[in-house]
């Protein structure tokens, strides 16, 4: 994907149907690409600061994209147009974002160390989830849409219950074993397709994979010579793909 951004790309996502790619960058823009031809389709402008993260709706009919920026705003875009559907203003820089399953709520985190859930229909903040003690660097919605995974510079990975009827503590589990360091990279996180495992970027140069139920690290895969910034699971095969500050992509095989 050449000729698009004029800054470092900090986040990349496929659309629900896989026909589009969305990228967020330090150049303050979000770009929509055609996945088949790698040609730029649209440039979404409006953020006044670095765009740290973007996420797309799972419902392809909604064609929505959300973005979080150092300008302290969340912007919701209609990918069929160039305009902003809605904007949420925060008091702090925002570094990670995801929609809920129905794409009627957006979950965002930043340097305030808390997760905030906004209702897009009512255009207001619904609730906050506290538990981290440093910047939130990555968010991932579980395959069933009930849970959110968050990675933080406090060296913890938290699992939150975002179902509407939950009234008590939404923090279900905290996983540890990975590292953030002085580089302060925005280390992302992700779920396996069956929700049994999670993974997260780590500055210790290892690909860390946890068992969700017993909170135990199942794998600590070596190979990278720099910070592992993101790891994703293959949608069908027992394979993980990792990217690193060492400019390498590694594929690793795990047990099914």
The mean pLDDT of 192-201, rounded to a whole number, is 96
Q: DSSP strand E in 114-245: where?
A: 115-119, 124-129, 136-141, 147-152, 156-161, 171-175, 189-191, 197-200, 207-211, 217-221, 228-233, 239-244
Q: Could you give all domains of the chain from N- to C-terminal order, each with its CATH number? A: 9-200 (2.130.10.10)
Strands (E) in 26-135, as ranges, are 30-34, 40-44, 51-56, 64-69, 73-78, 84-89, 94-99, 105-110, 115-119, 124-129
Tens digits of residue pLDDT in 11-39: 988 888 888 889 999 999 999 998 888 88
Q: Is the separation of the CB atoms in 140 and 134 below 8 Å?
A: no
Nearest to 137 by CA among 94, 86, 85, 102: 94
For the segment 103-117, the average pLDDT, to the nearest whole number, is: 97
pLDDT recorded at residue 44:
93
Say if residue 3's pLDDT is above 60: no
pLDDT band at residue 8 under the 50/70/90 scheme: confident
Contacts of 164 (CB under 8 A, 6+ apart): none
What 104-108 contacts at long range (C-beta under 8 Å, 24+ apart), as own/partner pairs, is 105/162, 106/66, 106/74, 106/76, 107/139, 107/141, 107/148, 107/162, 108/66, 108/68, 108/74, 108/139
Distance CA(238)–CA(255), nearest Å, equals 6
Q: Mean of the pLDDT values across residues 42-47? A: 93
Q: What is the pLDDT of residue 83?
A: 81
- Report pTM: 0.92
Of the chain, the end-to-end C-alpha distance in Å amounts to 33
pLDDT of 2 reads: 60
């Amino acid at each position: 994907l050449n000729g698009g951004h004029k800054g470092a790309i900090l986040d990349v996502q496929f659309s629900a149907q896989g026909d589009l790619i969305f990228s967020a960058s330090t150049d303050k823009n979000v770009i929509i690409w055609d996945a088949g031809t790698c040609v730029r389709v649209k440039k979404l402008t409006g953020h006044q600061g670095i765009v740290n993260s973007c996420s797309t709706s799972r419902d392809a009919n909604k064609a929505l994209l959300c973005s979080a920026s150092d300008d302290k705003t969340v912007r919701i875009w209609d990918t069929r147009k160039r305009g902003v559907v809605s904007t949420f203003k925060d008091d702090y820089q925002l570094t990670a974002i995801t929609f809920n399953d129905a794409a009627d709520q957006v979950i965002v985190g930043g340097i305030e160390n808390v997760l905030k859930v906004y209702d897009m229909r009512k255009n207001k903040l619904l609730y906050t989830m506290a538990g981290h003690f440093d910047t939130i660097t990555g968010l991932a919605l579980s395959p069933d849409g009930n849970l959110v995974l968050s990675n933080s510079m406090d060296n913890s990975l938290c699992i939150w219950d975002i179902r509407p009827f939950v009234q008590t503590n939404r923090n279900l589990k905290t996983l540890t074993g990975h590292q953030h360091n002085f580089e302060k990279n925005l280390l992302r996180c992700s779920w396996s397709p069956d929700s049994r495992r999670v993974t997260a970027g780590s500055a210790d140069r290892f690909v860390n994979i946890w068992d969700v139920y017993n909170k135990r690290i199942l794998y600590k895969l070596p190979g990278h010579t720099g910070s592992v910034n993101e790891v994703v699971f293959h949608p069908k095969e027992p394979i993980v793909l990792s990217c690193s500050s060492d400019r390498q992509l590694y594929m690793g095989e795990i047990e099914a």
